[in-house]
Amino acid sequence: MLPPKDGSRHADNSFDSLRLFFAVLVIFSHSFALGRGSDDTEPLFVLTHGQITFGNLSVWAFFVISGFLIAQSWTRSPNPLKFLKRRVARIYPGFIVAALLSALIVVPFAADPATRRPVAIGSFVLQTLRLQVFDVPPVFVHNAWPNALNGSLWSVPFEFWCYIGILLLGVTGTLRRRWLVAALFAAAIAWHLYLSITGWVPGGKILGVIFGFPLFWAIVLPFFLAGSLFHLFGGAALLRKPLMIAALAILIASNFIPHGLIVALPICGAYLLLGLAYLPLLRPLNLGRFGDFSYGTYLYAFPIQQLIVKYGGGTMAPLKLFLLATPLSVGVGALSWFLVERHFLAREPVFKKVTSLTHGAAISLASIWRSGRNLLGAGSRISMGRAARQEAPPEAASQSAE
């Protein structure tokens, strides 16, 4: 047997190590697009004939792990209010601080002098509450990947909506009907396969604005449900070496079958990933022994990479960018954990202090915001003469969907 009989204990798995590994792998993958402006030479993109990148793979791995852990969390404590509090506490504090730092620090450094302006407070508040990137003036206009403040954040609202989905499945009792959840999983894969074969890209209209782009749902939902099903059907007790070998063989073969990875990755890939989490080989790493730096690393890596490229000349060799950005991103991720995230994740009764802590933080952040806007306004006036001589920025480019 690969795992111990009781694979639920933290010491028996390597989820923290894997999450940090995949956060760093996102940095590696983005180094190609942000350094050169294209994924064409990204190793996994080349290996899979343009189907996926290591960034795609890493984000999908996050959804598999989250699906497993969030379904497990509901099963252990099926209290809707406590469940929702914990999910909000895990996502929002780190995200809000990252958004504030982006508005007050990154945007002033990244904006083109000719079009620099303060971030609109209304857009900032609304989009941050929606876990979206707020509206910004043209930024990083001379970078290889222009006008992208933080392309990594696209996945965060989908993650949070998945949490809400588990809450609804749990409250309605659907989560106890594991074969019904399995049917939802099969339907999600079939939906993604249909969109891939037909090439249809549904817009979603108002529902798409609220819940997210339908095509992205077709991509990420099977992975989240795969992790949830792994828990519902027994967790670590499902793992067998022969099955893992077979899953690996099927996964490799599917790369040579049109649309094969769409089916194989959520099934075989998720099984392999969860098996890897319980391999004794990885336990000595214990990368999470000091804290979970993966979320903060993921939140800050993209703008850090963009700033490095901007002040490095607009383009940069991917390996150089990766080596420069990784220690900075992990370091800032660690600061995010120690200074922000961990204070909101304590169990009762410490969690009851969150309201007063949030109130005090809101007052402080409002003061910082006003100071930042004043400084930005002063900087804009100083640079106005120079800016008038600059050319207009190029056409805005789409943000990365990593």
Taking only the tens place, the pLDDT of each residue in 8-50 is 455 689 999 999 999 999 999 999 999 999 999 999 999 999 9
Residue 30 lies in a domain: yes
> CA distances (Å), 160 to each of 63, 105, 222, in order?
11, 26, 15
pLDDT for 377 equals 47
Q: In 3D, which of 287, 305, 281 has the Cα closest to residue 402?
A: 305
Q: Token pair of 330, please?
A: 């992990």
Residue 398 lies in a domain: no
- Mean per-residue pLDDT of the chain: 87
pLDDT for 367 equals 54
Residue 397 lies in a domain: no
Residue 40 lies in a domain: yes
Q: How far apart are CA 192 and CA 217, in angstroms?
A: 9
Q: Considering the entire predicted model, what is its pTM? A: 0.85
Q: How far apart are CA 21 and CA 138, in angstroms?
A: 32
63 CB burial (10 A radius; 0-12, 13-18, 19+): buried
Taking only the tens place, the pLDDT of each residue in 206-220 is 888 899 999 999 999
Residue 238 lies in a domain: yes
The answer to whether residues 157 and 130 touch, using CB atoms and an 8 Å cutoff, is: yes
pLDDT for 283 equals 87
Q: How far apart are CA 247 and CA 245, in angstroms?
A: 5
Segments in the chain below pLDDT 50? 1-8, 348-358, 360-365, 368, 372, 375-402
Q: How far apart are CA 195 and CA 74, in angstroms?
A: 31
pLDDT for 115 equals 85
pLDDT for 166 equals 98
Residue 382 lies in a domain: yes
pLDDT for 205 equals 84
Domain housing 347: 10-388
Residue 38 lies in a domain: yes
Q: Is 90 helix (H, G, I), strand (E, B) or coil?
A: helix
Q: In 3D, which of 226, 248, 341 has the Cα closest to residue 292?
A: 341
Residue 195 lies in a domain: yes
Q: How many residues does the chain have?
A: 402
The count of domains in the chain is 1
Q: How far apart are CA 42 and CA 120, in angstroms?
A: 36
